[in-house]
Structures are given as structure tokens and as C-alpha cells.
Amino acid sequence: MSHMHAELATPPPLAPNAMRVVPLGGLGEIGRNMTVFEFDGKLLIVDCGVLFPEEQHPGVDLILPDFSPIRDRLDDVVGLVLTHGHEDHIGGVPYLLRERGDIPIIGSKLTLALVAPKLKEHRLKDVPMHVVSEGDLETFGPFACEFVAVNHSIPDALAVAIKTPAGVVLHTGDFKMDQLPLDGRITDLRAFARLGEAGVDLFLTDSTNSDVPGFTTAEKQITPAIDAVFARSTKRIIVASFASHVHRVQQVLDAAAKHGRKVAYVGRSMVRNMQIARELGYLKVPDGVVVDSIDAAPPEKMVLMSTGSQGEPMAALSRIANRTHDKVHLEPGDTVLLASSLIPGNENAVYRVIDGLTKLGATVVHKGNALVHVSGHASAGELLYCYNIVRPSNVMPVHGEIRHLHANAELARQTGVPNVIIAEDGYAVDLVDGHAQIVGAYDTGYVYVDGSSIGDLTDSELKDRRILAAEGFISVIAVIDSATGKIVSGPEIHARGLAEDDSVFDTVQPKVAAALEEALADGARDAAALQQVMRRVVGSFAGRRLRRRPMIIPILLET
């Protein structure tokens, strides 16, 4: 999906005393968030995440932001600020550091602790790590950064105000405004107001929930719903959540302690993340609640806290639903609690898993039938408050699909923001004399991580995979005598993923032969032209008889 911005030229060199903002991911999709700020020849990056593939990306493991606009300028990067520890904000960090391994990474204690094992996995050593917390003022090159506490579905999230002589940019990161958060750490609207009072020239705001009216429900309101599930369940309880949702795990641990149950973690990332959260004091584990084995207690006393290793909450669960999980076998009467959101585009997959679990005799509790999950993002009501508190001169919505960016832009306009910019990945937005405008666009696209290769997979190859998956494959092989122009053997036709039996092609085989002979009689000897003849006859037959448009590979051998 290369973004060719035909109408936009390559951005001009940056004017003196101007600041450039270039989102390289996260605008037009939920994921792979990354924004580059430029001033006076230096670059500051905020976030570097991954996007998880969907059905239209067969065989793709992860999708990265496109680093190409900054690839030849990595030496100018003075720092990489990470707003919080979610995969869609930190998952791409090791891939960037493979290209320059000593970029200083700046983030809160928990965020950097979640990045560390990734760097180790990619064998990246001696990466400079710089721990910050809310209220800190730090300077990286020409960028003076102030960090502000924000509340999100992972602890220790930060917004960042970036100050240069060109002006002040406030980037919210992912945030919401839960007024009664479980850890008591609220989004610091006093700091937002103080920054607004001094003047915010450009406000980058999280759009993920901008099309949801009202306010995001407080996490505290979920506690009774989780408690009710524990009170009702007579057998095991299996809870699925994101591997980083420390608050949700905390609620489960507290409920388990109250109802006399033990908790075992299932899934490598859940085990690792909760160990980190516990060591750093973000997760308070009641005495004796967490056990190592899923069989440590009888079923009516056990809770399994599960996830998938890719931050994808359905992975372990779908294996359980398909009965392919090596350790967890569902018994009738078990309760499965989906304490996670539906990522847009994942709904069908999630409902398939729910159906599979239900068929095995489980009671499935999810956000569709109980208040067991709330979003980590500000809804429209909260965003309106923010615009009124900050009173920015320019707003650029970030983090969201196109409809979210537009909904967020409309909220900003309603509060009287003078200039609202809707950008896309690759757009360059320059802040000059207090006014922000789009000045051009870099050619960017999706970068696919496929097995061990990064960025080698092209969109046309991905299209081939989709065709193979949906339409099947036919090979047509013929041998001709180049001297006489006669067919020596074939044409043989073989299909995969299309027809149950190659005999379907008995009627078309003579037509291919006739078309080939006719072309040969006309003096055609060019292999490409003859292959085209074979492809055309088989293709029209497949379209007419089989209602399919398979990939057709004609093979012509000469003797």
C-alpha cells in the first residue's frame, strides 16, 4: 500500500526557524505509530510501533512504519521518545535500531523495561536508555521536552511537549481522562492548562475514540462486573487480555484473592510483562495468589490469565477454541472472560473464537454482554475538554483510521481551533510563525516483516498471495519441436486449490492444443507469445466454467 501522494510534491528544504512534523505511521491505521520532528538540521522521533496484519496480508508477521524518508539522516536523530509501552508504539524500535544502534531511547521506567527484552532478542547491545517521568524537562539537541502524565490502558504513559524556537508542539500519545484510575495517576490537565496558557502552537491528539460520543467509562466500573463473573463461576476461569494491560491483570488478581482462587499466567509475553510490572511495583500481587502451574489447584479454584505472544489477545484463546493448545484443554462449565477490546478489522476473528469456545461448553463473557472492558482512549467529550483547556492555534489529529481523524478534526473545529490539519503518513507539516501547513509528502508505504526478511515483500507479491489464497493456481505445460513447430507432448493442465480433479480440464485441453497449433502454424515461435495463448484459453475457461480468476503459469519447453 504505497502512499503515492500524486498531488503533493517532495517537501522543500526546511526554512530557518521552522519546525517540520512528519508522521511515518499511525495516520490512517490503528498501529505503527511514529512521528518525526525536525528543527535546525536535527531530528527527534516520537514512538516507533508496529501494526498487526489482517486477512489481506497472508503470511505477514508485522507491518512497520516506512523509515525511508529519514534513512539517510539517521545520524541527525538526537533521540527517540516513547510515550508508552504498547506494541503499536514500541514494537518497531529494534528494527529502527538495526539501522543505527546508538539512538538514545527516552521513556518512562515501565516503557523502557518493556523495550529492553526486545532489544536483547534482536541482539542490540549498549543502546543508550534515558528514563524520564512526568514533570521532567530534558533537552535533546535543539528540542526541549517536557513530559506530562497521561492515563491510558497501560501504566506510566506520557504526553510530551516539544519546544523549539519555532514554537511548542504538544503530543498526547495515547490517552484518556479516567478521573478515578486504578493507580490514582490521572491525566495531568493542570499541566495541559499551564502549557496552553503559555501557548501551544500545534496539538497532536489521539483520535482512536474520537467518533465515540461522551466519555470513556472508568476502569473502576469494571471491577463489579469481573467480581460477578468470579462469584458465578463453578469451574475454571480463563481470562484473556492484552499482555501489557497491568490494570486489568490487577483487577483479576484482586478478584481471585477475594474469591479464594489461584492465578497462573499462560503465554510467554504475559509471564514476562507481569514479572517486569511486579518487579517495578506497578503490579501488586496479593500473597500466594500467583502460581506456576495451571494445575496447581482444583478447577474451581483456578484462574488462567492468558494472551498471545504478539500482543494479540486471541492467539492463545483461538488455540484453546480449536483444541490445539498444548496445555489448556477447555472443559464444559469453564468460564472464559474476554477482558479486551475488539481491534477494528478483528471482529469476525474474535466472534469465531467466541463461537468455538461456546461450542466446547464454556460460558463466554465479553464486552458485548458484560462491562468487562473499557477503552484506553479518550472519547469525544474528553477531547472537547482538552481543546478548550489547551486552546491550541493548530491541531493535527493522529492515531486513527481516516474516519477517526476526520471526527477528531471536527471536534477541534467546534471548539474554535483556527487551523485544523488532516495529514496522512508521509505528509510534511511545517510550523512557521505560529501557522502549520502541509508543504509536501514523502513517498511512503507499508513495510512488511515476513519471517526473517524486512521490507522485501512488495504489494504485488502480497496481491499474488491473496489470489493464490482465494482463486487457486493452474499450470499448463506443453513441449514443442522448434524446428517443425509441432506440439510434441501436452498440453498438460494441473490445478491446486481450485478443482477437485484435473479431469475438469479434459474439455479445454484440446482447445489449448488447437490454439497453440494455430499460433505455431502462423509462424509464432516467441515463447512469451505462445505462453500468452495458453494463458488466455485456460483463463477464459476458468472464468466461465469455474467462476474463478486463478494464477495461471504457462510453461513452454522446446526440443
Please tell me the least confidently modeled range out of 48-57, 203-212, 292-301: 48-57
For the chain, how many helices (H) and strands (E)? 14, 26
pLDDT tens string 258-277:
999 999 998 888 889 999 99
Please tell me the least confidently modeled range out of 125-139, 207-221, 242-256, 302-316: 302-316
Average pLDDT rounded to a whole number, residues 20-33: 94
DSSP state of 217: P
Does residue 160 have a pLDDT over 70?
Answer: yes
Residue 428, beta-bridge partner list: 440
Average pLDDT rounded to a whole number, residues 17-39: 95
Does residue 240 have a pLDDT over 90?
Answer: no
Please tell me the least confidently modeled range out of 90-94, 195-199, 450-454, 472-476: 450-454
- Answer for the pair 328, 238: CB distance below 8 angstroms, yes or no: yes
pLDDT for res 310: 41
Does residue 468 have a pLDDT over 80?
Answer: no
SS3 123: coil
Strand order across the beta sheet in which 453-454 lies: 62-64, 447-450, 453-454
> Distance between alpha carbon 381 and the CA centroid of its chain, in Å?
25
Question: Which has the closest alpha carbon to 392: 202, 547, 552?
Answer: 202
Cβ–Cβ contacts within 10 Å for residue 121, how many? Answer: 9
pLDDT > 90 fraction of the chain, expressed in percent and rounded: 62
Q: Which helix (H) or strand (E) holds 113?
A: helix 109-121
Where do we find the cell 481543546? 387
pLDDT for res 516: 79
pLDDT tens string 59-108:
677 889 999 999 999 999 999 999 999 999 999 999 999 999 999 999 99
- Answer for the pair 417, 395: CB distance below 8 angstroms, yes or no: yes
Average pLDDT rounded to a whole number, residues 147-166: 97
User: Regarding beta strands 302-306 and 262-266, do their DSSP bridges make them parallel or antiparallel, or are they unpaired?
Assistant: parallel
pLDDT for res 110: 96
Q: How many CA atoms lie within 13 A of 248 on its CB side?
A: 27
Does residue 527 have a pLDDT over 80?
Answer: no
Q: Decide which of 285 and 513 is more confident.
A: 285
End-to-end CA distance of the chain: 43
Does residue 226 have a pLDDT over 80?
Answer: yes
pLDDT for res 3: 52
Average pLDDT rounded to a whole number, residues 240-263: 92
Average pLDDT rounded to a whole number, residues 304-322: 69
pLDDT for res 168: 98
C-alpha cell at 482: 522448434
Tallying the residues shown for the chain, one arrives at 559
* DSSP assignment of 399-452: SB-HHHHHHHHHHHHHTT-SEE----TTEEEEEETTEEEEEEE--B--EEEETT
- Answer for the pair 455, 430: CB distance below 8 angstroms, yes or no: no
When pLDDT is cut at 50, 70 and 90, the band that residue 1 belongs to is: very low
> What's the CA gap between 149 and 159, in Å, rounded?
6
> What's the CA gap between 535 and 474, in Å, rounded?
9
Q: How far is CA 267 from CA 243, 271, 325, 424, in A?
A: 9, 6, 11, 35
pLDDT tens string 334-353:
999 988 766 656 677 778 88
Strand order across the beta sheet in which 302-306 lies: 262-266, 302-306, 237-240, 335-338, 363-365
C-alpha cell at 557: 519447453
Q: Decide which of 538 and 173 is more confident.
A: 173
Where do we find the cell 503470511? 59
- Answer for the pair 93, 116: CB distance below 8 angstroms, yes or no: no
> What's the CA gap between 134 and 333, in Å, rounded?
46
Average pLDDT rounded to a whole number, residues 293-300: 91
DSSP state of 377: S
C-alpha cell at 262: 489461584
Average pLDDT rounded to a whole number, residues 319-328: 83
| Complete domains list, the chain, with CATH | 20-214+376-460 (3.60.15.10), 219-365 (3.40.50.10710), 472-558 (3.10.20.580)
pLDDT for res 227: 95
pLDDT > 70 fraction of the chain, expressed in percent and rounded: 91
Does residue 458 have a pLDDT over 80?
Answer: no
> What's the CA gap between 244 and 275, in Å, rounded?
11
Cβ–Cβ contacts within 10 Å for residue 322, how many? Answer: 12
**What are phi and psi for residue 315, nearest 5 degrees?**
-60, -55
User: What are the b/e assignments for 219-256, b being 16+ CB within 10 Å?
Assistant: beebbebbeebbeebebbbbbbbbbbbbbbbbbbbbbb
Does residue 6 have a pLDDT over 60?
Answer: no
Biggest distance spanned by C-alpha atoms of the chain: 88
pLDDT for res 311: 42
One-letter identity of residue 105: I
Q: For the range 285-291, what are the long-range contacts, defined as Cβ-Cβ under 8 Å and sequence gap of 24 or more?
A: 285/253, 286/253, 286/254, 286/256, 286/257, 288/262, 289/253, 289/256, 289/257, 289/261, 289/262, 289/263, 290/253, 290/262, 290/263, 290/264, 290/265, 291/262, 291/263, 291/264
pLDDT for res 157: 97
Residue 197, beta-bridge partner list: none
Q: For the range 317-325, what are the long-range contacts, defined as Cβ-Cβ under 8 Å and sequence gap of 24 or more?
A: 317/238, 317/240, 317/353, 317/357, 318/349, 318/352, 318/353, 318/356, 320/238, 320/357, 321/352, 321/353, 321/355, 321/356, 321/357, 321/360, 322/356, 323/360
